[in-house]
């Protein structure tokens, strides 16, 4: 059985929303960036970040494919019996 790559099946973007324990808005931004890099996602935007007393509610959007790019799901590895 072939192992599926779920990232190869994302058509456009993926949103991540979470609450990060931190002491400032700046630290929240740094943690959000570190989280995306930990996931191996380099093309992202912090859509919203609201700091509260004990942390930040953050929503991050990772872009996998933009219009007109080479779409991975059109490749032969995805059409061969998957």
Burial of 29 (0-12, 13-18, 19+ CB in 10 A): middle
pLDDT by residue (tens digit) across 31-50?
A: 999 999 999 999 999 999 99
Enter the pTM of the model: 0.77
Average pLDDT on 14-25 reads: 97
In the predicted structure, residue 76 carries a pLDDT above the cut 70 = no
Fold type of domain 12-66? Defensin A-like (3.30.30)
CA-wise closest residue to 43 among 33, 56, 31, 29: 33
In the predicted structure, residue 11 carries a pLDDT above the cut 90 = no
Output the average pLDDT for the chain. Answer: 87
Whole-number Å distance between alpha carbons of 66 and 45:
14
pLDDT at 71: 72
């Amino acid at each position: 059985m072939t192992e599926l790559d779920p990232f190869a099946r994302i058509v456009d973007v993926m949103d991540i929303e979470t609450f990060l324990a931190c002491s400032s808005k700046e630290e929240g931004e740094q943690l959000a960036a570190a989280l995306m890099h930990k996931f191996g996602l380099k093309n992202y935007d912090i859509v919203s970040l609201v700091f509260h007393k004990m942390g930040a509610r953050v929503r991050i959007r990772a872009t996998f494919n933009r219009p007109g790019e080479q779409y991975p799901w059109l490749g032969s590895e995805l059409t061969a019996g998957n």
